[in-house]
Structures are given as structure tokens and as C-alpha cells.
Amino acid sequence: MSQPHNSQPLAPAYTRAGVDIAAGEELVEKIRASNPSIGGFAGLYPLDDERFLVGCTDGVGTKIELSLQMNRLEELGQDLVAMSVNDLIVCGARPLFFLDYFACGKLDVEQAHRVIHGIQKACQASGCVLLGGETAEMPGFYQPPKFDIAGFAVGEVHRVALIDGQSVRAGDVILGLPSTGFHANGYSLVRKIIAEQQLDLKSRPEILQGQSLGEALTHPTALYPRAVQSILNKVEVKAMAHITGGGLRNIQRVLPKGLTHRVDKSSIPCPPVIRYIAEAGNIPEEEAFTVWNMGLGYVFIVDEKNIAALMKELPQAFVCGEIVQAQ
């Protein structure tokens, strides 16, 4: 059923898991009020009269805990790159380089190398280079084998190619690219459900079609830069959004004032692992779409006349909603 953005409640179960979406949004708005350079997904720095440098940063959150349990460290490297470069490209930018930060209690060279190897591979797949990074040992702060990682992506976009959403109008259409699972958001709630329902990561629920629960939960985040770059010179795209923490609410971040979005949730191909966890935790649909991507990883907003051209270039894309006047 289609729902306008402003009908969605926030996430009480996620709050009970220790994450407050509303507080995070309030902090961003307070910072943005005093620093207009901060964008919806990435910040713009005027390099010269023709180009902007674009920068953003992110981490992978408590997905690290499950990835450690499942020994899926290279996949974490892809998660880290994806969470930044997928934000970077929303304004039409091309990723240039990436930096990483690896913090631990005591450096395990093999563990760190596996993560960084995953970062390198994901950078290559995204068309950028791993330029450098920092490794920090903090004994007594992180208990081995636990660690934390953060990533920083920098790209460029020409002023004439900047996609800022200002041309979006009511009646424009939303097309989506599928996610590969939870990506790297909402894992505090996922882990809470696992603990409360005593789910076994080694179990192989029928819905997962041969995968173990742990394997499905640690599948890496999709990398969207190549797909996006393949169409920007061929199809007029008015706005784009990376669907991360906050779910469908991310679309609102790229819309002009006075507009909102209506999404047909039934059109989104929800991955089996997300359905399984949502049902196990008895999470209401509205909250699930507020916390998780529910199968919608990235969106394009285009004029209706450009639907066919976009879907020709990206056959995996699907129509999932429209832009409407805010009430």
C-alpha cells in the first residue's frame, strides 16, 4: 500500500535497542543550521569555477559484531566503502579516493589485512583508489578481537552536472535499485531480536534457501557507483538517494520544500533475511520501513518520460513510487 512520507512513525523497537533515529536527525539539523556546506548525503567544497570536491564519512556500526562471529572480515571492508561511496554519488559525483581508520585494542595483522583487502577490492569496484589510512591501537579500550572501522570518501562533480533535487516536481517517478540485505544499518535492532528470540546464526531457515542465518546477515552492502555512472550521461536524473538508516525517510532529504514522496511498498523486492528477522522480532511494517531499507537500496527520481530509458540501462531497476505535494 502506498504511504506518504509524513505518515511514518519513528521506531520504538529501535529506540529500545539503544538507537534513537529522531535524536540523530535533530543533531544533523542543528549542525546544518550553522554550516550550510553540509549536504544531505555528502558535503560540497568549491574547488574552482567548474568543479566541487565532494566528501563524506561513515562506518559499519554493530554489524562488526556479527561479522566477527561469522569470520566475514573481507565483506566488512566492502560494507565500509559502500556506505560512503553510495552517499557520495547521490549528487552526481565520481569517487576519486578513499581513506580508512582501523581502531583496535591490540593489532592483529591478519585480521586487519583481511578487512583492508576487502576495502581495496571495493574501491576498485567503485572506480576509486584506497589512498591511505590510519591504524590505532588503544589497549584497554577495545577488547580483542573487537575493533572499529570508519571510512572517508572524496570525489568530484562538475557544477553543470550537479544533481541537487531542485528540479524535482510533483508527478515525478521514483525508481529503485535492490539492496542485498540489511547492508550496514539497523543491526542494533537485528542483534536485539537475535538475542531475545535466541536465534542460531548457524541455522538454515527454509526462507533463506540454503544460506545460514549468519551468512545472510553478513552479506556485504551493494556498491552502486558503477550503476549510477552508467546512466548519468544518458538519462536526465533529477535527484537520487541512498537508502540507509532511517529507511524511506532518506528520500525526503533530496526533495525541495513542499514536496514529499509516496512509495508502493509492495513493489519493493524484500530480501528473505529481512522478512525473517522482521517476523521473528514481530516488528510492525511501518517501523521496519523506518529502520531498514527493506530491499530498496538506492533510488532515482526522474520525469515519467525517462522511465524506459533508465530501465533499459539498468534492467534491475523497478518503479516504486512518485513525488507528490506535501499536505
d(CA 300, CA 189): 28
C-alpha cell at 297: 537500496
Let me know whether 73 and 217 are in one domain.
Answer: no
- Domain end position, chosen among 143, 162, 181: 162
Residues 132, 241, single domain; the answer is no
301 and 181 fall within a common domain: yes
CA-to-CA distance for 288 and 21, rounded, in angstroms? 13
Q: Are 100 and 133 in contact (CB under 8 A)?
A: yes
Residues 156 and 167 reside in one and the same domain: no
Among the candidates 162, 181, 208, a domain finishes at: 162
Put simply, whether the predicted model's pTM sits higher than 0.85 gets the answer yes
Contact criterion met (CB below 8 Å) for 57 and 152: yes
**Amino acid letter, 286:** E
CATH of the domain at 93: 3.30.1330.10
Do residues 207 and 285 both lie within one domain? yes
Cβ-based burial of 60 (10 A; exposed 0-12, middle 13-18, buried ≥19): buried
Place of cell 569517487: 95
Neighbour tally for 266: CB within 10 Å:
9
**pLDDT value, residue 327:** 84
Distance CA 293, CA 238 (A): 21
The whole domain housing 307 covers 1-35+163-327
What is d(CA 293, CA 242) in angstroms, rounded to the nearest whole number? Answer: 9
- Tell me, yes or no, whether 24 and 171 share the same domain: yes
- 48 and 132: one domain? yes
Amino acid identity for residue 65 in this structure: E
- 47 and 171 fall within a common domain: no
Q: Hey, how many other C-beta atoms are within 10 angstroms of the C-beta on 90? A: 27
Contacts of 75 (CB under 8 A, 6+ apart): 67, 118, 218, 219, 220
With CA atoms as reference, report the closest residue to 193 among 282, 293, 67, 273: 282
The candidate with the shortest Cα–Cα distance to 263, out of 10, 21, 8, is: 8
The CA R_g of the chain, rounded to the nearest whole Å, is 19
Residue written as grid cell 554550516:
35
- Of 129, 162, 195, which residue is a domain's last? 162
Question: What pLDDT is stored for residue 128 in this prediction?
Answer: 98
Q: How deeply is 233 buried, as exposed, middle or buried, from its count of CB atoms within 10 A (0-12, 13-18, 19+)? A: exposed
Is 62 in contact with 195 (CB distance < 8 Å)?
no
Looking only at the bridges linking them, the beta strands covering 147-158 and 94-104 are: antiparallel
Rounded distance between C-alpha atoms, residue 307 and residue 130, angstroms = 35
Please count the structural domains in the chain.
2
C-alpha 89/C-alpha 38 separation (Å) is 15
- Residues 322 and 181 occupy one common structural domain: yes
226 and 133 in a common domain:
no
d(CA 224, CA 83): 10
Q: What is the mean pLDDT of each run of 10 residues along the chain (327 residues)?
A: 43 59 55 54 95 97 97 97 98 98 97 98 98 96 96 98 97 98 96 97 97 98 97 96 93 95 96 98 95 97 98 97 95
Residue 265: the pLDDT is 96
Tell me, rounded to whole angstroms, the distance of Cα 90 from its chain centroid: 11
Q: Return the DSSP state at 174.
A: E
Neighbours of 259 (CB within 10 A): 18
Q: Residue 253's closest CA among 25, 79, 85?
A: 25
Burial (CB < 10 A; 0-12, 13-18, 19+), residue 272, is middle
Are residues 186 and 114 part of one domain? no
Q: What is the pLDDT of residue 5?
A: 41
Cα 116 from Cα 76, distance rounded (Å): 9
CATH at 221: 3.90.650.10
Q: Let me know whether 17 and 47 are in one domain.
A: no
